[in-house]
Amino acid sequence: MSTPGMKNSFLPPGLVSNLQDVLKKKANTAPVQHDDDDNKSNNKKEEEEESAVQSSSSASTDDYDPSKPVIFVTNSEGIDSPGLTSLVEALVREGLYNVSVCAPQLDKTFSGHSFTHQESISVSTAEIKGATAYEVSGTPVDCVSLALSGALFAWSKPLMVIVGVNKGPSCGHDMFLSSAVAGARQALTSGVPSLSISLNWKKGESQESHFKDAVSVCLPVIKAAIRDVEKGAFLKSSSLHITVPTSPTENKGFKLTKQSLWRSKPIWQAIPANRNPSAARFMANQPGMGLQLAQLGRDASAAGAARRLNSQKKSLEIVESVGVSGKVDLIRTVKYFRLEFQDSNQEETDENLDFRALENGFVSVTPISVSQLIEPDIEMAASEWISDAI
């Protein structure tokens, strides 16, 4: 729950809770409007929202040509990423498809197969020439799920879902973290054929133009996949994850690969509170918030103290920060950390593994199945362990 007037609050939860108490009390002392005024205001707001939804729906219907198949596109980096734009522009130029886009507003690369649950997400129209596009305050999996639900677009089911072009490889164990692979997997579990495409981006070496090159390299495969889906000849139980090498135009061809054990190492860096970018962005977006927080902070401190006193009277223990002596510290310590991923050395030498193919200049094509089959030796070991354990 967020404090009224503050969206995406980056304040500590305890302070937010105290501020809520203060604001509620202030609201109770505000002048009361007549019920008629409230009803008129609410009705007007509902009419405006309904009108906005209807105009958005009619706009998407106007762009829809029922004689053409629908290709749905999303990605992990966000609606403004060059990889998404390059892919959509290439599909639109073909003139053979209804191209629909629903992508995250922000970078959600490592969100994995996560949904936004029990929270509302916002959906706004976006401008991509030749396509019907929306940006969503959610994850790639949200985008795919929402699009396939039938609530957003004029069509009921696309011919294919394509996720990409995504920045950076998703090889080995990183496929479990990749929201690009997750978006394609979500389509597959919903009965829609899918592809995910990534560029093996390297800092200091890769350029934005490489996204267009990656699309050019993959376009024949995309068109062949669409053709075979229409014929009913495409893969039924798996998606394909395509990773283009760092220099797309110098690739040695396509290579069918296996998922490796490659993984990147998570590195957590401590960030000083005064350098926390999230807090800085929050304050920058709240004009005049400094003075308001100063006043509300004093009230909130009093409210928090009163709440803790009441809780203690009810024999409830509230510990926000405990010192060496075991006494309750009324000042909570907040620390900030930033997660970064670092490549790790791999000893696997099989040339048919995904990351080895990329290193050797090939375009890696890895089948991704929703069925996690257990290898016979693992199944036997698990069976023996359970028998011994029970």
What is the pLDDT, as a whole number, of residue 321?
38
C-alpha to C-alpha distance for 199 and 51, rounded to whole angstroms: 41
What is the pLDDT, as a whole number, of residue 35?
55
| DSSP secondary structure letter of residue 328 | B
- Output the CA–CA distances (angstroms, integers) from residue 17 to 283, 320, 335, in the order listed: 18, 13, 19
What is the pLDDT, as a whole number, of residue 317?
33
Two tokens at 297?
């902070």
* SS3 category, 242: strand
Long-range contacts of 330-333 (CB under 8 A, 24+ apart): 330/304, 330/305, 332/12, 332/14
Amino acid identity of residue 281, one-letter, is R
Chunked into runs of 10 residues, the chain (390 residues) has average pLDDT values of: 45 58 58 54 55 48 80 96 96 96 90 85 94 95 94 93 92 80 93 95 92 97 95 89 95 90 77 66 49 53 51 38 50 82 69 88 90 70 78
Residue found under tokens 């006043």: 295
C-alpha to C-alpha distance for 64 and 58, rounded to whole angstroms: 10
Q: For the CA atoms of 85, 91, 97, 103, what is the dihedral angle to 10 degrees?
A: -20
Which residues does 308 contact at the CB level (< 8 Å), separation at least 6?
318, 330
The helix (run of H) or strand (run of E) holding residue 266 is strand 264-271
Yes or no: say if 230 and 69 are a contact pair by the CB < 8 Å rule. Answer: yes
| DSSP secondary structure letter of residue 30 | S
What is the pLDDT, as a whole number, of residue 241?
93
Pairing verdict, β 238-244 and 336-343: unpaired
Two tokens at 6?
């503050």
Which residues does 317 contact at the CB level (< 8 Å), separation at least 6?
none
Count, residues in the chain: 390
- Output the CA–CA distances (angstroms, integers) from residue 130 to 88, 90, 93, 94, in the order listed: 9, 10, 8, 11
Two tokens at 118?
């029990």
Which residues lie across from 213 on neighbouring strands?
none
Yes or no: say if 346 and 355 are a contact pair by the CB < 8 Å rule. Answer: yes
* Burial classification of residue 132, based on how many CB atoms lie within 10 Å of its CB (0-12 exposed, 13-18 middle, 19 or more buried): buried
What is the pLDDT, as a whole number, of residue 3?
44
What is the pLDDT, as a whole number, of residue 312?
45
* SS3 category, 367: strand
What is the pLDDT, as a whole number, of residue 4?
45
* Burial classification of residue 172, based on how many CB atoms lie within 10 Å of its CB (0-12 exposed, 13-18 middle, 19 or more buried): buried
Cα R_g (the chain), whole angstroms: 26
